[in-house]
Each structure stands twice: as structure tokens, then as C-alpha cells.
Amino acid sequence: MRLKFITLITTAALLLGGCATQTLRGTGDLGLIIERADGSALIVENSHQTILARVEGLGDLSHASVVYSRDQRYAYVFGRDGGLSKVDMLTHTLVKRVLQSGNSIGGAILQDGSLIAVGNYEPGGVKVFDSTTLDLVLDIPAEYGDGKLSKVVGVEDSTNHTFAFSLYDAGEIWLVDLADRKRPKITKFKDTGRQPYDALISEDGRYYIAGLFGEDGLALLDLWNPEQGVKRIMGGYGRGEEPLPVYKMPHLEGWALGEEHAYLPAIGRHELLIVNRHSWQEAGRIALHGQPVFVMARPDGRQVWVNFAYPHNDTVQVIDTQKQKIIATLKPGKAVLHMEFTPRGEQIWLSVRDEDRVDVYDTRTLERLTELPVRAPSGIFFTSRAHRIGF
């Protein structure tokens, strides 16, 4: 009996010793920062603003985006070279990488987390992969006209196991219903406007909005009532004025929503468009420092943060959505490319590419809290995106 008791104590001590040396970590405050020049990404945690690891071998990340598995453990990185990479956020390793096209421009993860869709420039279309194995499940060529292939942009996840995306060359929006992956249903909406260049989807999954590069205005599709077709909104917002050269296309993903309004970047203009969320009519404009690129709302909707295209890309402006006016103009440094709020919005992280760092700001005081050394940072993607539609 005594020997058995001693054995139990020894076993317990060993188990406790193992727990003491093993670091357990959740995934909820993790994120990836893209190092665009090196084909690498940093795994970070935002609770203490620390860098945990670097993952390399991710290919061309000059225009990269990231989505997460629903358990937040795996990041799926979409590279400009057509690479789709699966990164383990806990073991800090590259699990698998497939080169699925010649040129891709982002993607989305299905509502239940089972499938990854990638939008491709070359060849034009969408490829859908199993999120566990990265095996190809479905290839959807973006054919239009006389057998031509269109570049695909604005791939977004919606409810009811549906992906939505836009065909840049064809001026179309397609919906793909994958509730039955063996018999996918594709619905095509034609003549939606010239050259949709990017898109967003509202956080309830209802509205898909594509920006139009070839003309003033946006295309809106109500996914609750798709039989109503595509509606044109904000048509001719630049009417009567000479268009400015566009140095960088605005990015619509980020979906800046206040209580009553959406805040959208105007192409080639130094303006923010304010749109009523119920009527989808213009409700106002805010003059800005330069041409807006990202327009992002703090999670509570009280603030909107805006960064800018060259030559004004050293600046960020903060807008109070209740007052609908600019409350701060910040100068973080050269080439502020991307912004990301922490899950509850108490901080915002800014990539300052040309100064090789990421800045962390307090969104209440608007003061810089700290900076992290990062090699040519661009996109910042926190794992909280895993539980938000359109992110």
C-alpha cells in the first residue's frame, strides 16, 4: 500500500512539473502581420503587444489577405502569386501551401469553416478548397461573353453556405450556393456596372456591395432578396468635377458602419461618402486629407479611421460618427498601409511599411502606446475575424 501511495505522489509530481513547463495558450488574441517583402508573417498577440514567432515561405505577399478557421487555430494566407498557405497559429508552422493559380487577389472561408474560396486573376475564376487538406473541391471559371475569362475580385462569405464575388472584366456579380457541395448552384447577375474592383459584405451577411472603378457609383445586392437583382447606389457622386488620378485603389473590406450610416471611400476623391443604411441614399460627405484607401469602423461604431494613398500615406484621420466630423489627424510615418482594431476596439494597430514597424494606438486617448519592429509590414489580421461575416 505504501509503495502504491509513493507511486501516486511521484506520478502527480511529474504531471504538475509537466504543466509548469508547458505553456498553454488560447487563440483569441492572436494575429498575423504580413511582411510583404520577405514572404513571411509574424504571429503576434494583442493583449500584451508582443511578437511570438515568424513563419516563412509564404511566397509573394505584395497583396496578401488572411482568413481564419472557426476555432481560430489556423490562418489561411492568400498570396498574390496564387499561393494558398495554411499556418498553425499555435505551433507557429506552415502546415501546407498550394500554388493554385498564376495571380490571385484574396478569398473567403465558408460559414461552417469547411471550404476556402480563392479569387483569381489568372486564370480568371474561383477555386474552392477543403479547409483541412487544401485539396481542390471545385473550380469555377469566370466565363463571360465569347468564352473569355474575367478577373475575379471581392470574394466574400455570406450566410446559407454562400460565397459572393465580382467579375471585374464582365461587370457581373455571382453567387455560389455550396449547401450541397456536389451540386453547387451558381446565380449570375449581369450588367451590374463597369469594372467592379472590390467588394464588402455587411456583418449580418445581407448586403453585398461592389465598388465600381469604371464609373461613379456602387452596386448593391440584397442577399435576403436576390430576386430583386442588383441596385445601383450613389450614382454620379463625382458628377461635374474632374476625376483625380488614382494612386491606389480603395479597399472596401473593413465595412465602416455607424449606428445609421455606412462610410465608404470615394474613388479618386479626397472625400468620405456617408450613406444611409436603410435607404442607401447619400447622407453627406466628409472632406479628407487625401484619397482614402481603408475606411474602418471601431467595433462599437463610434469612430471611423481612414488611411490614404500616396502621397498622403503618412497620415491617418479619425472621425467621430456621432458628430460626423474629423476629431484627429495623426502622422504615424511613411506608408501607413493597413489598420486593425483589437476585438473590442480599445486599440488599433497600424502598419508603417517604409519605417519597418507597427504602431499601436489607444483609440480613447489617440496616443501611441508602443511600436513593434516588423519588416515592411502591410496587412494585420487578428483571429477575432474568425467569427465575423465578411472578414
**How confident is the model over 215-231, as pLDDT tens digits?**
888 899 999 999 999 99
Q: What digits encode the pLDDT tens for the residues 182-210?
A: 899 999 999 899 999 889 888 888 999 99
Q: What is the per-residue pLDDT for 234? A: 83
The pTM assigned to this predicted structure is 0.91
- For cell 430583386, the residue is 228
The string of DSSP codes covering 256-284 is EE-SSEEEEEPTTSSEEEEEETTT--EEE
Q: How high is the pLDDT of residue 211?
A: 87
pLDDT in tens, 355-372: 999 999 999 999 999 999
pLDDT band of 270, cuts 50, 70, 90: very high
Q: Report pLDDT for 389.
A: 83
Contacts 24+ apart (CB under 8 A), 215-222: 216/267, 217/193, 218/193, 218/264, 219/173, 219/192, 219/193, 220/280, 221/164, 221/173, 221/175, 221/189, 221/192
